[in-house]
Structure 1
């Protein structure tokens, strides 16, 4: 096939102010591409359909010397941003031709993509154009709805679901909230619940409302207003024109004003004080919000577009934060990357398609309009979500109405890709069609839609063309049917995989007890595909099916069939099965998850996490050190199972608080310098999942063994808990080592740091920490739990300690759940 033009939008120069089309960005048509012959190198070729233009793009137009959470655009290279493309060719077995992908893609007509990193598959909704999937149903889409299981609010943001429980509302109807969006929001991420103000303060709160400033009339703001009103909130909104003010009133805003003709500070003084402020602007508006904040207000900073083109103005009244005991958060949504995709797409696109949620767009056509659209957004001249349509999608469809030989695909919609040369498809003969029909559905309802002379040369397709289209459709369906017959492959970034513990982004883990859970419908077989970084020759895994006791299984890099032993009732159609998989050991325990293969017809369904989530922080004692089956026989793991809680264990043999054995990290130095460990964090628990309800800390023995003084140990422990409190403001924390002691070979226990833990607790209490508790474990470990084999302790000892700790928790007021959250 002859090469075709591959037009691009290049980042040509760093702007000093507003980006200038033709200078900052340049439309380039010099590049050519052979769509059929260009090497893919195991990747896939996409055709760009639509691109999103967003305010944050200006913040990437800088040099490499400027440090930012988002890297700069590369000079001389195409811009990159959110978009939708369709796969034309593929050498990646997981990416089929005809699939639609969404995510960060280059601003050019055709692109070769190496893998699905940063991308996700989209399902076409015939009621919605692709432009919506980069707007209201894409990255800039934001809304507020009631969380399904609590009294808080949920932020639907980007293609993610951002839970704001405890941030947007502490007491319904008693708080004032401001969401200020000057233009389309940038990225947001999960934020933690701060300490609640006193009850007498909460009860005095003014009516709950939301105030927003909006300059682009974007889809994000519309969704906020509509969903906030649906939740019964009072909405205050600002915009840059009377037309936009009128529109916001029409969709439900209680108070709407033109910030260009009305003093925002006066409005806030009249309608405040503010309890929550969502800021995408910065500058004077942020200062006004601080001056009008209520006591215990929360500020969510997700952008500062007022300074993107004119320079950032520093905020001059941060003293209001401590004067009003307010809290300020910086939030980025991409850190949630795939966790809430499924839930977002189940909620927002249907609401948009049905008209329940309304949206508007400012659409330009042609890649050459990108530069002008970027400037329009920065100047606030766009009248809706800014989107550039690069190419129309294929218009020929074949819809299967009866698939006798492809069960489960009765509603399959096949997109037939129309490339540049239809003659390539005209060579099919009867033998080829017969071969293809053997794999394809036996009945097809064909609906041809075509546009003008550019499609079928202006003529209605003849019989040969009809057979050609049918031929291509059958090839596609046949390939899909064949692949489905082998297995259902679940990639490691599937949001329905519920990870727990500490993982890196590969994903890989080497932490004892870290693992994942899946809930599978119609499961009969499961194969775990582990990557090359998995410990060789084998890694010990703990496996539990439907909450049965864990059993050990040795696995290795490659395919590993997991024995299921399903009960009869679990084999009935529609039945679900929960499979839990953990890394067992405290060493040689690297698990590199690549994918999971299920039997044909099986599918993942959401795993409902327990209401309890424990995290255990410690040393070898908490890893199951010296037990035959590692963590699954350890006291802390047994506690999690007894209480039917999610749990994570951050523990390593030799771990110490003071910089001795573990060098200030959660790993012994021998692990820290191991080259396969591609990240090792300090005592930092922000990465650990899931979000915890209770934390248990067992630490100190290795500090004592290294002759760390009690004074140094106490000061380090106090600082340790202070650092832990930053992300875990209201968590119940149990320090469980008071007078623990350890038996010696001749019998008596050797105690360490007598009274030190009480000092730590007293210091934290003096700082106002009322959610920390000391567990007196004197006498819990005896000679029989350790000797004569000098174990750490033995299995019976772990069981005894688990029972004693359960007694403590129940006396404290925490009781085991009656059943797991999943049936």
Structure 2
């Protein structure tokens, strides 16, 4: 008889954000399975599933391969050599909008023996906009610098990143709320356009494995020529946001605040924003005055060039994402962070 793991089964390890209807939100949300004697996996999705949803699937920590999920049964091809060893199969929604995987159950072959997933001790929480969601990349968030960094360090990750969203709670590029509001909700900022779920619910942070490190990369949309949020207003919003993170959820984890690297125009010319005065250093100084010595500014100036971008939209292309990942990994190494040596779930 086949082995069925229904949504909510402790052997079906969820990551990211999921609502009460068993539906995921935000790029990178997904689930993990560990099992021995594994020869088949079928994922059953409900009516709330986004049409032709791209989901990255990684088997035993090999590179992710994209599978398309729709309502109904979705069969995952598996290599034949899994029968004689433990297998870890990871699933992550690649899409940066309408990232709704409606998970009903996962069915394994008869004789499969699932077991609990062992998470890594190291875990990142990334908060950002298009630069952290992999917008326009072939595999979305899977190709993004934050995903690459976490994989390289053998770390878990949660990513709350939405293209076009400001940190300030304003309508911005079609997002009806900013991240200073939306981060605390289950749903991402595209909820407004979802006819099946156009409302928000508070996220229960007790559902998360607490992160060990937090990365904030925001301001590109606040500082855009169209919205142009004044630097002092942006800085005050940023301070209050970090204060709230510290007060309610993340007491003493290192927080890494990315500066902007500027915006490139069609000519390759660079327009900088929020540089003088720097709101990023203002946040760091504000927290330090409160006794918080664990907020660090990551200076990203000069990290990327025109060749690292998609020429028609100014976002990092796949190779540019690798450049950013390498720069941040080098920065983290100099800061003193070491990745884990092995994936615990395979042991």
Deviation at 1:696, TM superposition (A): 0.5
- Relative distance call for 1:696 and 1:551 in structure 2 (3 A) is same
- Matched residue, 1:752: 273
- Matched residue, 2:196: 676
Higher relative contact order (CA 8 A, sep 6+): 2
- Matched residue, 1:587: 97
Within 5 A, what are the aligned runs for 1:195-594? 484=1, 487-536=2-51, 538-566=52-80, 568=81, 570-572=82-84, 575-594=85-104
Asked if residue 602 in structure 1 is aligned to residue 117 in structure 2, the reply is no
CA contact (8 A) 2:148 2:322 kept: yes
SS of corresponding position for 2:68? strand
CA contact (8 A) 2:253 2:294 kept: yes
- Once residues 316 and 297 of structure 2 are traced to their aligned partners in structure 1, the CA distance between those partners, rounded to angstroms, is 22
Deviation at 1:816, TM superposition (A): 1.9
- Matched residue, 1:686: 205
CA contact (8 A) 1:619 1:654 kept: yes
SS of corresponding position for 2:26? coil
- Relative distance call for 1:629 and 1:690 in structure 2 (3 A) is same
- Relative distance call for 1:807 and 1:783 in structure 2 (3 A) is same
Q: Deviations over 1:591-632 (max 9, x none)?
A: 000000000011210111001111110001111100011111
SS of corresponding position for 1:822? helix
Consecutive unaligned residues in structure 2, runs of 5 or more: none
Deviation at 1:679, TM superposition (A): 5.2
Q: Deviations over 1:355-398 (max 9, x none)?
A: xxxxxxxxxxxxxxxxxxxxxxxxxxxxxxxxxxxxxxxxxxxx
Deviation at 1:516, TM superposition (A): 0.9
Equivalences, count: 331
Asked if residue 629 in structure 1 is aligned to residue 151 in structure 2, the reply is no
- Matched residue, 1:377: none
Q: Deviations over 1:292-344 (max 9, x none)?
A: xxxxxxxxxxxxxxxxxxxxxxxxxxxxxxxxxxxxxxxxxxxxxxxxxxxxx
- Once residues 820 and 750 of structure 1 are traced to their aligned partners in structure 2, the CA distance between those partners, rounded to angstroms, is 42
Deviation at 1:670, TM superposition (A): 4.8
Q: Deviations over 1:394-441 (max 9, x none)?
A: xxxxxxxxxxxxxxxxxxxxxxxxxxxxxxxxxxxxxxxxxxxxxxxx
CA contact (8 A) 1:502 1:650 kept: no
Asked if residue 821 in structure 1 is aligned to residue 335 in structure 2, the reply is no
- Once residues 192 and 251 of structure 2 are traced to their aligned partners in structure 1, the CA distance between those partners, rounded to angstroms, is 28
Deviation at 1:521, TM superposition (A): 1.9
- Matched residue, 2:263: 742
- Once residues 718 and 688 of structure 1 are traced to their aligned partners in structure 2, the CA distance between those partners, rounded to angstroms, is 25
CA contact (8 A) 2:16 2:25 kept: no
SS of corresponding position for 1:770? coil
SS of corresponding position for 1:515? strand
* Rg comparison, structure with higher value: 1
Within 5 A, what are the aligned runs for 1:591-740? 591-660=101-170, 661=172, 662-664=176-178, 665-666=181-182, 670-677=190-197, 680=200, 686=205, 689-705=208-224, 706-725=227-246, 726-736=248-258, 738-740=259-261
- Once residues 735 and 718 of structure 1 are traced to their aligned partners in structure 2, the CA distance between those partners, rounded to angstroms, is 12
- Once residues 314 and 231 of structure 2 are traced to their aligned partners in structure 1, the CA distance between those partners, rounded to angstroms, is 27
- Matched residue, 1:25: none
- Once residues 655 and 677 of structure 1 are traced to their aligned partners in structure 2, the CA distance between those partners, rounded to angstroms, is 19
- Relative distance call for 1:673 and 1:595 in structure 2 (3 A) is same
- Once residues 200 and 267 of structure 2 are traced to their aligned partners in structure 1, the CA distance between those partners, rounded to angstroms, is 38
SS of corresponding position for 1:663? coil
- Once residues 791 and 685 of structure 1 are traced to their aligned partners in structure 2, the CA distance between those partners, rounded to angstroms, is 35
Deviation at 1:818, TM superposition (A): 1.7
- Relative distance call for 1:671 and 1:505 in structure 2 (3 A) is closer
SS of corresponding position for 2:303? coil
- Relative distance call for 1:800 and 1:778 in structure 2 (3 A) is same
> Please, which of 750, 761, 765 is the counterpart of residue 284 of structure 2?
761
Consecutive unaligned residues in structure 1, runs of 5 or more: 1-483
Deviation at 1:680, TM superposition (A): 3.0
Deviation at 1:514, TM superposition (A): 0.6
SS of corresponding position for 2:274? coil
- Once residues 527 and 669 of structure 1 are traced to their aligned partners in structure 2, the CA distance between those partners, rounded to angstroms, is 30
RMSD: 1.8
